Structure 1
Amino acid sequence: MAVVINTNYAATIASNNLSASNAALQKSLNRLSSGSKIVSPADDAGGLAVSMKLSAAAVRSSATSTNIANTTSYLETQDGVLATVGDVLNRVSELYTLYQDPTKNADDKANYDVEFGQLQLQLKSLAAETFNGVSLFGSAGGGGAVGKDPIIETVKVSEDGSQTVAITAKDLTDTGSGVGALTAVAVTDLGDIDIDDINTAIQNVATFRANNGAEQSRLGFAADVLTTNKTNLEAANSRIVDVDVAEESTQLARWNTLVQAGTSMLSQANSSAQIALALLQ
């Protein structure tokens, strides 16, 4: 190989290798310091695009789980009110039976009617209960408490909104499916109702509670599926963007060694021109 002064080929090669090793070392340091495999979009453009979609789906799954939990709280509140309605109806049933006692005079029956009137008002009050301004009871299609938001009729249970669970409308004021037969304007005392009216009202409330429980059960399973989906979406996203610390640490040691070796070799390559000067002495 010729001995020249103007061109130091060995130093150029050593410089290029050192530059490449140093760039790889900096990238490895960035990955380890950030914990992310994709520090720059150029590192994995396609992977970054997939990661963004997976991350968004996982966030939506978490938000949907929150919505389901809130709807479950709504249903639990509704069931609590229905349980109280059941207690009121039991008391009405008891008052009606006492009202039939042939030994009771008119004043005694009037006293029973006073309590019955208060229980009617309580049933109307319970029918107007709300949860965060949303009516607990009402008819399908928008009916609810006066001045409040209509009842919940459906809830989305998938992150993309394609799957829903229907919530049965429970209209307590309805004369056929609720307790309206006991609270109608025409009903002013216990003598205006019969045992069939009471039994029908109790059966209607029992049906409401059964539907409520079934809906809570289904929402619970839907929440379980969302939790599983969210976990796996996060795992898939992690495989794309999260750095393997053990593997990257090995690469860091490799590039660190190459940078030190390259620095030493470049220094020696730069000093090789001194050979030509020695020949000129």
Structure 2
Amino acid sequence: MALVINTNTTASLASAQLNSTNALLQKSINRLSSGRKIIEPSDDAGGLAVSVKLESIIKRTSAVQNNVSNATSFLQTQDGAMDTVGKILNRVSELKMLYTDVTKSTSDKANYDKEFTQLKAQLGNLEAEKFNGVSVFSSSSVGEVIISEDGTQKITLSAADMSSKLTSVTNASSLNDLAIATITTAIGEVAGLRAQNGAQSSRLAFAGDMLTINKTNIEAANSRIVDTDVAAESTSFAKFNILSNSGAAMLAQANTISQVALRLIGG
């Protein structure tokens, strides 16, 4: 290679290499400090596009999980009310049997009727129970609960018409007008509503489990695209840091090459 003054090719090449190394070093620092593998779209354009879609799925899945949890709470509230209704009906049936006791006086029976009147009022209150403004008991379906992030899978919450099941009991003016068979029929119908409630709650629980599994795996897939592997990136950082320091030293050395020509000229 010719010894020249105006052009220092070695220094130019060393400078270009140092700039390239410093750019890689800076990118490694950004990845480690942010925890993200994709700092700019140019880092992985295709991966970024996939990540955007996956993050959207994760957001929708979280929203569906909340909706499923709220529907479960609704059904639990409904079941709690039906449990109370069942206990009241059991008490009414007990009162009816006590009412038929031949040893009870008219005043005794009147006292039983007083409790029966209060229990009927409480049944009316339970029929009007609401959950966040939505009727717990209705003659029509509450609606559909979406159980998938794409909105294609749904569960319809069946109607729970408590009023129609209790009419024969609540319309009785006294225990004397109420037959045991009427009470037992009402108890059986309420039990049927509880079975319906339990079946829907069970399905929602399994749907919630599937949503959790899907979300966990989608988050893992997205993480592989956008999150920094700290162990691997730390190794790259150490490499680029050493190359940057050695590159700076070699550039300084390359800049002294032209001084050899000056010494020759000076004799």
Give the TM-score range, shorter chain.
Answer: over 0.9
Q: Deviations over 1:186-229 (max 9, x none)?
A: x3122333222212110111001111111111111111111111
Following TM superposition, by how much is the alpha carbon of 1:40 offset from its aligned partner in structure 2, in angstroms?
1.1
Q: Residue in 2 aligned with 1:113?
A: 113
CA distance in 2, matches of 1:253, 1:96: 86
Cα offset for 1:20? 0.4
1:94-145 Cα offsets, whole Å, 9 max, x none, are 222233334445444333322222221111111111122221111115xxxx
Q: CA deviation at 1:87?
A: 1.0
Number of the residue aligned with 2:264: 279
> 1:171 corresponds to which residue?
161
The residue type paired with residue 235 of structure 1 is A
Counterparts of residues 248-267 of structure 1 (less than 5 Å): 248-267=233-252
CA distance in 1, matches of 2:23, 2:113: 91
Distance 2:75 2:186 in 1: 20
Within the alignment, does 1:205 sit opposite 2:190 as a pair? yes
Choose the corresponding residue for 1:183, options 153, 158, 170.
170
d(CA) in 2 for partners of 1:241 and 1:261? 31
CA distance in 2, matches of 1:67, 1:44: 35
% identical aligned pairs: 56
TM-score (normalised: structure 2): 0.94
Superposed CA RMSD in Å reads 1.6
Q: Aligned residue for 2:200?
A: 215
* Larger RCO, structure (CA 8 Å, separation 6 or more): 2
In the alignment, residue 116 of structure 1 is paired with which amino acid?
Answer: F
Structure 1 residues 227-236 or 69-78, which shifts more?
69-78
Q: Which amino acid aligns with 1:2?
A: A
Where does residue 7 of structure 1 map in the other structure? 7
CA distance in 2, matches of 1:263, 1:119: 90
**Number of residue pairs aligned between Structure 1 and Structure 2:** 266
Q: Going by fraction, where is helix more abundant, 1 or 2?
A: 2
Q: Distance in 2 between matches of 1:255 and 1:116?
A: 85
| Structure 1 gap segments, 5+ residues each | 142-151
Secondary structure in 1 aligned to 2:162? coil
Output the CA distance in 2 between the equivalents of 1:273 and 1:55: 56
SS of the equivalent of 1:173 reads helix
